[in-house]
Amino acid sequence: MILRTGISFFTDTPAYPGADEVGGIGPSLLGTMWLGIVSTAIGIPLSVLTGIFIVEFRNHKLAKITKVFTHSLLEIPTVLIGMLVFLTIVVPTGHYSLLAGSIALVIVMLPYTMSYLERALDEVPRTYKEAGYSIGMTRKQVVFKVVLGIAKPGVAAGLLIGVAKGISETAPLLFTIGSARGDFPVSPMDLGKPGDAIPLLIFQFIQSPYENWHDLAWGASFVLTVIVLVTFALVKLVVREVKL
Amino acid sequence: MPEMAKSDKRFFYSLVPAALVSSLILVLLFIVLIYYSAPAFKEYGFRIFTTKTWSPSEESARTSEYGLFIPLLGTLVSAIIAVVLALPFAISTVIFTEEVIPKGMNKVRETFSTLIDVMTGLPTIVYGLWGLAILAPFLRDNLYNPLYAVLGSIPLFSCRPVTGTTILTAGILLSMMIMPFMYSVIRHSYKRIPAIYKEAALALGTTKYEYSKIMMGMVKPSILAGILIGFGRAAGETVAVALVVGNTFNMPSCLLSSSYTISALIANQFGNAALYPYMINVLVVGGLILLLIGIVSNILGIMYLNRVRYTA
Amino acid sequence: MAEELLEVRVEDLNVWIGDNHILKDVYMRAVPGTVTAVMGPSGSGKSTLIRVINRLIDLVPGSKVKGRVMIGKINVLESDPYMVRRRIGMVFQEPNPFPHMTIYENVAIGPRLHGLAREREEIDRIVEWALKKAQLWDEVKDRLDDYPYQLSGGQKQRLSLARALALKPRVLLLDEPTANIDPVSTVKVERSIIEYAKENMATVIIVTHTPQQAARISDNILFIYEGRVIEYGPTREVVLHPREELTRKFLGGEV
């Protein structure tokens, strides 16, 4: 499929329904990239800081509660995350946007990222922390200069898994980004506008009666699978034991 | 423990906002779902769970009827089918990786296990696409039509399979999606069975089959946990199910007919629900149920997992 | 900076971890310019004792400390632990240079952290000095940008020592620093410790479970057994004429 259309598959907009050619997934691919970038940008600080809080102050009640609550997010059907973001962000702002979708994906990735992060932070041997304190580091310095430095591979793996989980999700995007696939979201300003993503395109096009859109959906799902598998392979390179 | 030093306190409080944001998501979800579902309860009462029709009207709440009975039943039926089908596969795959692949071939074992893990990681939409375009027509021609022809007198198979998108297709696709989860839950416990038990079982002169049966008995709680966690996942899965369940308000009592699940209903209707009075609220009720199913099955699952203990 | 002389005095020290009474009415005194060996069988509370001195005990969940630990004129137990630790260096049983930092960075981090030196040249000088003091300079001077995993266990331990020395601590604590390293490195570490104490009039306290090491390097010995001080005195006296039966047994390898 992709071979037939060549590079334009990645750069064109979808063709008209029923047309002879298929067009491309350009806007959706860009949308997925933006979703990945923005949700990572929000998700990294949020999950790293929360993870540090949970691990460093593990005896504190607030840390225990945080741990239970964030881990429970894993058990929430992702369509409910879409619902939540729709009711709390899309409705008040009055329109769909890539930003709303990104926030939904942050919620999707959070529990995955957190469980990796916590394990990585936990596994840093105590002796290095002691060494940090012994040269007069404060707790903050020990965490940022020693613990995070040593746990870097695990942290990176957690973030990658989180992003991969996020961008391959469909349900949280159903009522948040709006499936606008006519324009290319190129500047960050476009984040406030409706957009599209690859999984959403697949979901909608395969349900259409048009042959050429079906082809496009298959091509898109191939691209999505490759992106996800490459991410997992990267993670596998970084840490030995991977749990998806 | 001595008082926190001043700089530690500052550090603690600087992390609190992030922790609060992360943990309030769940709280917010509960509040929002309850808040939005309240009007539906007020308007329709308990009827939303028992009514079988879904006839939205743009004019008023009086003329529209929203029944969650069918999708609710559809969710339960499809998730049960999924678990029932996935369980034997999960168990035998665990036995295959741990017992059948020879001791010396650890590389093979790990590669095999990674492959199954990758199945968990594949985007659900890819399963859905494949299920709709390939699995459903295949099942219709090779399973449903023969089933209908032979067992048509049994109520479960008494409806003519028009399309391949049926409640059974949803169950079968879901079983493929949750099998890897159940596999990894069970295998995790299985790997931890202490060697002495294995030796003791072997010393009894058991056959490979009897031996595996004994071993599975030892990880029974984790099998139950796998069932519960798998059930929760299956019930909450959305897009893949929405593509293959058929999305019609037929009772899922006949497995060969298309039907609905709550998640699919939400996926299809929620986007336009604002046009109809109370539809959003009814759908949120459905969401609340999904949330409860997900959380309860997971809590119970974890309870069972914690019960796996090997004490001599 | 005029080098202050900081004596370490421990009085009526009691430590609990959970329900375990780890240290019971412990006392000791360590004088600038000398090496004091804390000696005793494993599990006697030696490591806990030196972790009270620099308040690393704070990191142990469920720990409770009572008594007085004076460093110079301040009571460590009533001070900000971070201020305390700046002037106290420590070397641990496991060689633990930070694995994600180069050899150079491992030594430079302390001085940088506390703003002891800002210019690159100044830091270079401190790094060289500390590595020389730890008897490691000759082995690593051409590969300061390597990571510690390329070093042997003994070299790693000397790197940990250099990291501590770079801050010119007035008090140096060592927790069985040679328990896990080769004999050659052991000799070098021991020599560094003695030199550092004498040249800088620093107060050095070393935990050891071998009487031989205590005899080789210390001026005074504190012998603890099951959390209690059994004997405390000049090394020659304790080793040659132990007053207590338990000490005699320990020296003879019987406990």
Domain residue extents for chain B: 65-279+300-306
Judged against a pLDDT cut of 50, whether residue B271 lies above it is answered with yes
C142 within domain boundaries: yes
Q: Is residue B52 a contact partner of residue B70, using CB atoms and an 8 Å limit?
A: yes
Q: Is residue B210 a contact partner of residue B121, using CB atoms and an 8 Å limit?
A: no
Chain C CB contacts of A126 below 8 Å: 59
- Give the percent of chain B with pLDDT over 90: 34
Chain A residue with the nearest C-alpha to that of B110: A241
Chain B CB contacts of A87 below 8 Å: 32, 36, 284
| Residue of A59, A138, A149 lying closest to C98 (CB–CB) | A149
- Identify the three-state secondary structure at position C207: strand
Judged against a pLDDT cut of 90, whether residue B249 lies above it is answered with no
C75 within domain boundaries: no
Task: Tell me, yes or no, if A128 comes closer than 8 A to chain C by beta carbon.
Answer: yes
Task: Please tell me which chains touch C, using 3 or more CB pairs under 8 Å as the contact test.
Answer: A, B
Among C214, C221, C105, residue whose Cα is nearest residue C166: C105
Task: Tell me, yes or no, if C180 comes closer than 8 A to chain A by beta carbon.
Answer: no
Chain A residue with the nearest C-alpha to that of B229: A75
Q: How far apart are CA C120 and CA C124, in angstroms?
A: 6
Chain C CB contacts of A133 below 8 Å: 54, 56, 59, 81, 85
- Give the percent of chain A with pLDDT over 70: 95
Paired tokens of B179:
């099998």
C27 within domain boundaries: no
Q: How many domains does chain C have?
A: 1
8 Å CB contact of A137 and C61: no
Query: How many whole angstroms from its chain centre is CA B44?
Result: 28
8 Å CB contact of A134 and C54: yes
Paired tokens of B18:
């992030």
| Selected residue with higher pLDDT from B5 and C187 | C187
Domain harbouring C166, CATH code: 3.40.50.300
Q: Which CATH number describes the domain made up of A27-238?
A: 1.10.3720.10
pLDDT in tens, A175-210: 998 878 877 887 787 888 888 899 999 999 888 888
Chain A CB contacts of C85 below 8 Å: 133-136
Judged against a pLDDT cut of 80, whether residue A38 lies above it is answered with yes
Among A157, A159, A155, A160, residue whose Cα is nearest residue A144: A155
- Identify the three-state secondary structure at position A17: coil
Q: How far apart are CA B139 and CA B141, in angstroms?
A: 6
8 Å CB contact of C100 and A152: yes
Half-sphere exposure of C115 (CA within 13 A, CB side): 0
pLDDT band at C1 (very low <50, low <70, confident <90, very high): very low
Chain A CB contacts of B25 below 8 Å: 69-70, 73, 84, 107, 110
- Identify the three-state secondary structure at position C205: strand
Half-sphere exposure of C77 (CA within 13 A, CB side): 20
CA angle at residue C129 from C127 to C134, to 5 degrees? 95
Q: Check the CA dihedral A58-A124-B12-A46 and report its sign.
A: negative
pLDDT of residue B247: 83
Q: What is the domain range of residue C143?
A: 33-58+80-251
Chain A CB contacts of B263 below 8 Å: 77, 79, 171
Q: Is residue B183 a contact partner of residue B295, using CB atoms and an 8 Å limit?
A: no
Give me chain B's average pLDDT, please. Answer: 85
Report, as an integer, the average pLDDT of A80-98: 91
Paired tokens of B92:
């035998």
Fold of B65-279+300-306: MetI-like fold (1.10.3720)
Q: Check the CA dihedral A40-A43-A49-A50 and report its sign.
A: negative
pLDDT in tens, C182-219: 999 999 999 999 999 999 999 999 999 888 999 999 99
Chain A residue with the nearest C-alpha to that of B285: A80
pLDDT band at A46 (very low <50, low <70, confident <90, very high): very high
Judged against a pLDDT cut of 60, whether residue A243 lies above it is answered with no
- Identify the three-state secondary structure at position C17: strand
C71 within domain boundaries: no
B211 residue type, one letter? Y
State the complex-level ipTM. 0.92
Spatial CB neighbours of B88, under 8 Å, sequence gap ≥ 6: none
| Residue of A53, A75, A206 lying closest to B298 (CB–CB) | A75
8 Å CB contact of C61 and A141: no
Task: Tell me, yes or no, if C80 comes closer than 8 A to chain B by beta carbon.
Answer: yes
pLDDT of residue A33: 92
- Identify the three-state secondary structure at position B60: coil
Interface of A with C in 35-94 (CB under 8 A): 59
Task: Please tell me which chains touch A, using 3 or more CB pairs under 8 Å as the contact test.
Answer: B, C
Tell me the whole-structure pTM to 2 decimals: 0.88
Give me chain C's average pLDDT, please. Answer: 92
Chain B CB contacts of C81 below 8 Å: 5
pLDDT of residue B2: 46
pLDDT of residue B206: 80
Distance from CA of A225 to the nearest CA of B (A): 7
8 Å CB contact of A136 and C164: no
Q: How far apart are CA A85 and CA A192, in angstroms?
A: 14
| Residue of C94, C100, C167 lying closest to A135 (CB–CB) | C167
